[in-house]
Chain A
Amino acid sequence: MTPRARRLLGAVALTSVVVASGCARGCTSSRPPIHLNPSMDDQPKVRAQAASTFFYNGASMREPVPGTVAIDGLKEDAAFFTGKGADGQFVATMPVTVDDAVRERGRQRYAIYCQPCHDARGDGKGILFQRGNVPTASFHQEKILKYSDGQIFDVITNGFGLMSGYRWPIPPADRWAIITHVRELQRERLARAAAASASADGTADKPASDKATADKPAPKPGDVK
């Protein structure tokens, strides 16, 4: 019997065992599937994010060489890329012109990257807080209201406390766009509070409860803590 025929017979036997055991598909296995015809299934190439036995760190993808500057990688505008001015202080206002496109982009990016923790209104009562009790800052607290734009940029870039830095997933332009959205949330809340307090001057109880709900918009489970 040639090795080829033996291999084929073995494969057939194995297949019948698998079929007999009723686990032909849908079962999890740590072993790779059987390939009767292995043609081009295993590629002698390295795909993105693949593991590597060649490099010490086990990753096949190489990081950029420290200190190099790629084409379009020049970051001369320090305010735009770091949120800090020439004096090393955080810039008070963002160094980008804000238009509808930027606002829309910011709303969208916020929903992708920020909302899971900070929730849609910026109260820090997102899904991670609800399910995992992860303490998350609210944008409406006094401390953060006082943050300059550059400081918020720095927090997104490098992280703060439990929050990790979002330097890689969010490019600088998107970080500034997100800040426009955060500012919008804050303005909205302040305006509503101001309106509520203005109307509270006139009448008594009812608007006060409105104010309470506005300040605490998070759903009940968030209040467990």
Chain B
Amino acid sequence: MNRLYSVEGVYSLTGAMADHRLRLESRQIAPFLATLAARLGAGGAASLAGAALPGVDPRWIDALAKDLLANRGKGVIVAGERQPASVHAAVCALNAFLGNTGATVSYYETKDAALPSVSSLDSLVSAMKAGTVQTLVVLGGNPVFDAPVDFDFASALSKVPHTIALGHSVDETSARVEWHIPRAHFLESWGDARAVGGTLGVVQPLILPLFDGRSPVELLGLMAGGQDRPGYDLVRETWKPILGEAEFDRKWNRVLHDGLLSGSELPEVAPGLKGEPYAELGRTIVDGASPQAAAGSAGALEVVFLPSPSLHDGRFANDGWLQELPDPLTKLTWDNPALVSPKTAETLGLTGGDVVRLDHAGRSLELPAWIVPGMADGVVALTLGYGRAHAGRVGSGVGFDTFTLRGSQASGFASGVTLTRLGRKHPLSATQEHGSMEGRPIVRESTLSELRAAEASSPAQAEGAHVAEAPHAGKEGRVPEAPGVFEEEPHHFSLWKEHTYDQGQQWGMTIDLNTCIGCNACMVACQSENNVPVVGKVQVAKGREMHWIRVDRYFSGEPSGGPEVVFQPVPCMHCEDAPCEQVCPVAATVHDAQGLNVMVYNRCIGTRYCSNNCPYKVRRFNFFNFTKDTPSILQLGMNPDVTVRARGVMEKCTYCTQRINRTKIDAKLAGRAVHDGDVKTACQQACPASAIEFGDLRDGSSRVAKAKADPRNYALLDELNTKPRTTYLAKVRNPNPDLDPSTRSGSSRAGSSDEGVA
């Protein structure tokens, strides 16, 4: 099992998965790296030693350096994208020093790519202001919204006589140009691409264009060739010299089918670093230290600009699914408050939802604040992509435009920001406001050594024996061998005559908490598959969000220290003894022969007794007719196999019963049995980490049955004897024995940019 160290200022998903995490401001990453390089003994880095980092336990760096040196060629150091070039160069040099280059890190030439560059945008804007640009064509992108604010792209644009923008909708840029050209979606367009490794591929459209849009390829073809030609012809023409005229159609079809041209990957290159990477790093540290000193240590904060996990840079702002998708860490929807650590909030006298004003380099921004444990103290994190003026029906005016604070000099993070409380409150809608498990074993955790010891002592563990798991406790930190009141209790007897479920397929699911990265992909996949409505910020604040699967996030450890984070996706558990079924007065929720807890929408009269009685709180009620005014284009996006629910109806996860039935019908038509893996639920299909397994529990060879036989398997709220069909595999951490738990959560400062060792 790998061991991941993370050094960052704002909790990232990577940091949440780390075995050891150090909170550090983004500007402290360069000094940290210098100290690490000196400790590793990299050639030329010795001069960087000396300056001890405030608040960083030297043992932490020792342990990290020891692990990296012990695993030469098997580890990797990765620098965060917000870090300056000198940090990336030094990381590259360190990876080479550790023998990781070529083994765990590969470098490729960037071919046929225009790399993003702030300076080239700067020179363009200068030329526009000087009036030397006659015609400006914007192919996608939204520079009026997201260009560095000190460039003032909008006023520069007004000085250009002819402006043309190609875009999906009339956004901030399109609203200010002379001509707006409707853009075809990438799923409607022909194109080609080169992957990072150099592999060439043709991008083929998935659907005939809904509207008569133009792709960038077609627009460029018109501009360069003077002819309006279909993208298909243009792409084929480009590929003629690549594939050769002989047997072109056969090779072309093969590329289309495979998605890539095999054998077109580029050879790895050995990076040649110009100059002295460690000396550069030293200069960055000196440069970084001086303005910080100038700004004064008192009251000056560091601001970090994060792309939104859902909206990225704002391009997806008009998507209700993404707006309502909670942030993985804050669990906030429809908003982007400034995030601060509990200690910073205490120092500044802030509570969640307080409106604050941030001042930086003569620019100011008013927005609410929100407290997130695990952040570095003295850091304000701003999420980009919100506050759009021309996003569309859904996204306009949602959140706060944090691009207005971001200059070209510090696009990732900036020091010297002052924060003022304005004494107002702004309502924020979170789907989970409580971050503690209150000592209950909701997410169970173990360490690799504990698990190994348990396996060695009892090799033949029966399912349900949770020897290794210790409750992931709340404030007291981890309590490995305290049984407590929530330790496994013997099963209660059932009041009901229990069904045996020994016929046909019996569906079940496991969710591996060790591989779940908390990315929320399952939530959107489920929403798309099951026609789950979007309810809006006001309804989310009332707890009326409709997600059939949610991802719970829990903090453990001292909130003001460095708490650990665990994620837990929670769909309907499909309990065999379902509490919801026993209280339904109209039998609208019942069990079927395959063990599914099914909802009969037409029977439901909306008493909500079931939701009240559900211990997992996974049932969702249609308080309003959320789907009544669905526009015809969105009706095309509804899954025809799933009922669209009306007001007054309860709904919940169905284990994608429509997919189960479709598979069974297909298998029957083909005259074969349903194989393991034939049915994939939407969440399982979307999971990038393959954390979810689904299948027939009666088939002993199925992946889900094997997962259930894992000693890490446990049922959520097992003491209620609901016999859930969905169970969890406990999380396993791999802490360094040199760093005892008190150190793990004890470091007092935090930071941004990831470093990991695999």
Contacts and interface: CB of A to CB of B under 8 A. Distances in A.
Interface of A: 39-40, 43-48, 53-54, 60, 62-63, 65-71, 73-76
B601 A76 contact: no
Given A40-B643, A45-B635, A54-B636, A68 B208 contact: no
Contacts of B208: 62-63, 65
Contacts, number: 68
Nearest to A63: B208
A74 to B, nearest CB: 4
Nearest to A66: B232
A65 B638 contact: no
A204 B648 CA distance: 86
Contacts of B601: 40
A74 B256 CA distance: 9
B461 to A, nearest CB: 41
B640 A39 contact: no
Given A62-B208, A69-B256, A46 B643 contact: no
B207 A54 contact: no
Contacts of A62: 207-208
A63 B256 CA distance: 18
Contact of B531 (A39, A45, A65, A73): A45
A4 B658 CA distance: 36
Contact of A46 (B602, B627, B636): B636
Contact of B644 (A45, A48, A66, A68): A45
A46 B646 contact: no
Interface string B566-608: 0000000000000000000000000000000000011000000
Interface string B215-239: 0000000000000000010000000
A86 to B, nearest CB: 10
Given A45-B640, A74-B257, 7 more contacts: A39-B602, A40-B601, A40-B649, A44-B634, A46-B635, A62-B208, A65-B206
Contact of A40 (B254, B257, B646): B646
Given A74-B253, A74-B257, A75-B253, A44 B644 contact: yes
A60 B633 CA distance: 11
B640 A48 contact: yes
B282 to A, nearest CB: 53
A71 to B, nearest CB: 7
Given A40-B645, A43-B643, A68 B638 contact: no
9 contacts: A39-B602, A40-B643, A46-B638, A63-B208, A65-B206, A65-B207, A69-B256, A69-B257, A74-B254
A45 B627 CA distance: 10
B639 interface: yes
B741 interface: no
B205 A68 contact: yes
Contacts of B207: 62, 65
A67 B255 CA distance: 12
A39 B588 CA distance: 15
B254 A39 contact: no
A78 B643 CA distance: 43
A60 B207 CA distance: 12
Main secondary structure of the interface of B (DSSP, over half): loop
Nearest to B531: A45
B205 A44 contact: no
A68 B204 contact: yes
Contacts of A45: 531, 635, 638-640, 644
B364 interface: no
A75 B640 CA distance: 30
B630 interface: yes
B250 interface: yes
A60 B640 CA distance: 11
A74 B252 CA distance: 11
A63 B209 CA distance: 11
A60 B636 contact: yes
Interface in B448-487: none
B644 A40 contact: yes
Contacts of A60: 636
A47 B640 contact: yes
A45 B643 CA distance: 9
Most buried by B among A62, A68, A75, A76: A68
Given A40-B601, A46-B638, A76 B253 contact: yes
Contacts of A73: 257
B336 to A, nearest CB: 31
A67 to B, nearest CB: 5
B633 A54 contact: yes
Most buried by B among A40, A45, A54, A76: A45
Contacts of A43: 638, 643-644
B117 interface: no
A86 B658 CA distance: 44
Contacts of A44: 627-628, 630, 634-635, 638, 644
Contacts of B630: 44
B701 interface: no
B632 interface: yes
B646 A39 contact: yes
Nearest to A55: B210
Contacts of B646: 39-40
Contacts of B638: 43-46
Most buried by A among B205, B257, B602, B628: B257
Contacts of B253: 69, 74-76
Nearest to A76: B250
Nearest to A65: B205
A25 to B, nearest CB: 21
A108 to B, nearest CB: 11
Contacts of A76: 250, 253-254
Interface string B194-213: 00000000001111100000
A216 to B, nearest CB: 37
A54 B205 CA distance: 20
A54 B630 CA distance: 13
Instruction: Identify the 5 closest CB pairs spanning chains A and B, nearest first.
Output: A45-B638, A69-B256, A74-B257, A44-B630, A69-B257
B235 to A, nearest CB: 10
A54 B633 CA distance: 7
A60 B250 CA distance: 32
Interface string B598-630: 000110000000000000000000000001101
Contacts of B250: 76
Given A44-B635, A53-B632, A71-B257, A65 B640 contact: no
Nearest to A53: B632
B246 to A, nearest CB: 13
Nearest to A67: B232
B445 to A, nearest CB: 40
Contacts of B531: 45
Nearest to B645: A40
A66 B649 CA distance: 42
